[in-house]
Amino acid sequence: MIVSTAWPDHALAALRDAGLRSGGARRAVVAHLARHDCCRSAQEIHDGVRAEGGTVGIASVYRVLDTLVALRLVQRVELGDGVARFEPSTSDGHHHHHVVCDGCGKVEPFSDNALEHALEGVAGRLGFAMDAHEVVVRGACDTCRA
Amino acid sequence: MIVSTAWPDHALAALRDAGLRSGGARRAVVAHLARHDCCRSAQEIHDGVRAEGGTVGIASVYRVLDTLVALRLVQRVELGDGVARFEPSTSDGHHHHHVVCDGCGKVEPFSDNALEHALEGVAGRLGFAMDAHEVVVRGACDTCRA
DNA sequence: ACCAAGACGAGAGTCGTTATCATCTCTCGC
DNA sequence: GCGAGAGATGATAACGACTCTCGTCTTGGT
């Protein structure tokens, strides 16, 4: 779950390797994502960067996120509230999923090997070359249930 | 995967049990869902009902779907394209998930016991009372890969 | 420093979804 | 069956997330 501290460098290097230039918006979005490694919406990123003095446009945020997703540097996450969220994807293939509490809206990450194995089995059985998957568990957290 | 042929009756009965009335829009949406048991968007339902001579408003479709989801008669599914889809949820607890082909957009349902067990294990470990979960597998189907 | 390609920001536009409100209809008590 | 009121419906306006467009600015190579 820990995003390597080298992630922003890795991401910027990958952008360059892809033949893309280094612009202010890209740097700002990458830096912001690196500081908040779980589930940031485009709006949150936009506001966050602005709060730190940057002047990125919301369009640029979406553009940068699009690029990062295409390069598999960022994973898009949909929690069912109509807002796409984004988080850095680690290069070592280790990733996590999310539980959402219907009561308080709290989001918590988790990872589970049995789950990953089951998904690989399913993909193989169906003749799919799985290159991504998303799991969202919904329920009531212990405090909301009390 | 097979939706019981009794689903529409079950759904209408559940609506009544919840103290709700039987209006034309509810019957039309339930009937349409029963005929297409996998992944229908609100727009598709609206168009489908209209094509059959009904006169439901799009607002009513969303309202009815909202009600059905709240009563757990219908499951909301997000495949990542910004459109919410809906399908009947069987009363016996048996449900399915979806694989989406990034190449041709084909959607296929699947179900897997190991996956369900893994999810239950995760929820228990986190202290969550899981009452729903959604899994989307993304990849290339065998024809798109060839 | 110059220049072309590319990146950027602002704002308009698109589209799925939700809220509003006046009208209609179902259900219950008579 | 009938009337009344609560609830359901449909058209439309409003909303919000996201995308497109376009003119300007920056980057990186020369």
Number of domain units in chain A? 2
Phi, psi of A38 (to 5 degrees): -135, 120
Phi, psi of B26 (to 5 degrees): -60, -45
Q: In the complex, which nucleotide's C1' lies nearest to the CA atom of residue B23?
A: D8
| Segment holding B12, helix H or strand E | helix B7-17
pLDDT, residue A45, reads 97
Domain carrying residue B22: 1-90
Same domain, A79 and A101: no
Residues in chain B within 8 Å Cβ distance of A102: 131
Same domain, A79 and A105: no
Nearest CA among B110, B40, B38, B18 for reference residue A123: B110
Structural domain ending residue among the three candidates A52, A68, A89: A89
CA distance B117 to B28: 36
Same domain, A66 and A104: no
Number of A/B CB contacts below 8 angstroms equals 118
Q: Where are the beta strands (DSSP E) in A4-128?
A: 40-41, 74-78, 84-88, 97-101, 107-110
Give the residue on B whose Cα is nearest the Cα of A97.
B135
Same domain, A103 and A62: no
Please state the separation of Cα A116 from the chain's center in Å. 18
Contact A133 B135 (CB under 8 A): yes
Q: A18-32, A127-141, B81-95, B117-131 — which is least confidently predicted?
A: B81-95
- Report pLDDT digits (tens) over A55-80: 999 999 999 999 999 999 999 999 98
Which domain CATH number covers A6? 1.10.10.10
Q: Over chain B, what is the mean pLDDT?
A: 91
Same domain, B74 and B103: no
Structural domain ending residue among the three candidates B90, B107, B137: B90
- Report pLDDT digits (tens) over B5-30: 789 999 999 999 999 999 999 999 99
Same domain, B79 and B119: no
Same domain, A100 and A83: no
Same domain, B114 and B139: yes
Which domain CATH number covers A143? 3.30.1490.190
Nucleotides of D under 7 A from a protein CB: 7-13, 17-21, 26-28
| Segment holding B137, helix H or strand E | strand B129-140
Nearest CA among B59, B79, B80, B61 for reference residue B69: B61
Q: How far is B84 from chain A (nearest CA, A)?
A: 8
Same domain, B111 and B128: yes
Residue with tokens 């940031």: A40
pLDDT, residue A15, reads 96
Nearest residue, CB atoms, B110 vs list A99, A108, A122: A122
**Is residue A123 less than 8 Å (CB to CB) from chain B?**
yes
Nearest residue, CB atoms, A99 vs list B126, B135, B141: B126
pLDDT range class, residue A3, cuts 50, 70, 90: low
